[in-house]
Amino acid sequence: MTRRKPYPKPPRLFSPYPAKQYRRLVMRHGERGKLYDFAFQFSETANRLADSFTGQPYDDTILIPWLYLHRHAAELVMKDAILRAAQLRRRGGDTDSSLDPAVVKERLKGKLRHRLMALLDELDKHLQALELDRTPPETRRTLAHLSELDPSGESFRYDGGLPKHDDRIDFPALDKALRSMYATLAASIDVLEQYADWQNEMLDAVPDESPGDDEYRELIDDF
């Protein structure tokens, strides 16, 4: 008889609050800790926050945290797409040394870091190398405006990084633009997955047997 592994202890923040009723339950999914999963969670949270908008003065309080959620979602989904695209180029026979998994990881965590437009340029470079469509101009423009307001990922988190004058904003219109921006960036993942399927057929191989896949899988899972 196989003995079941003991259930791991929850983090101390959670352990005093075990869920005893389904309607009070919220879960942290340990197997969903990848870049795209985090990106989706930040985007979904931003959308749910936006859905609470009523046009009342107290809604002003959600603007900056909401912008931060969108910014972080965009950053994470682009980093995920970059890792996938670099992997596909390498599997396709591209010998560029910049596609080495360790080099890609260092570039994302060092040179590119939280710079949205630099990340988008990196992604578009890979898409072009794979002969795929680059990011549409409207998405690039919206991301550029978001990056202009918070160039380094700190303006939405700390005091002093934003202009001191007041801004009066059509929130539903801005919400629509940022949702569209994220949806387009996230769609690059779908495109790359379709490309991977085509590449598998061309190589007559499954991903687990392809050189470099394990290294990239570890990067995507643990980045």
How many residues are listed for the chain in this entry?
223
pLDDT band at 221 (very low <50, low <70, confident <90, very high): low
pLDDT in tens, 131-161: 999 999 999 999 999 999 999 999 999 988 8
pLDDT at 34: 85
pTM of the model: 0.87
Which amino acid, residue 217?
A: R
Compute φ and ψ for 47, nearest 5 degrees.
-65, -40
Per-residue confidence (pLDDT) for residue 218, from 0 to 100: 61
Residue 56: the pLDDT is: 97
C-alpha distances in Å from residue 65, one per residue of 8, 149, 165, 167: 33, 13, 18, 16
Cβ within 8 Å of residue 7, ≥6 positions away: none
Tokens of 99: 């596609």
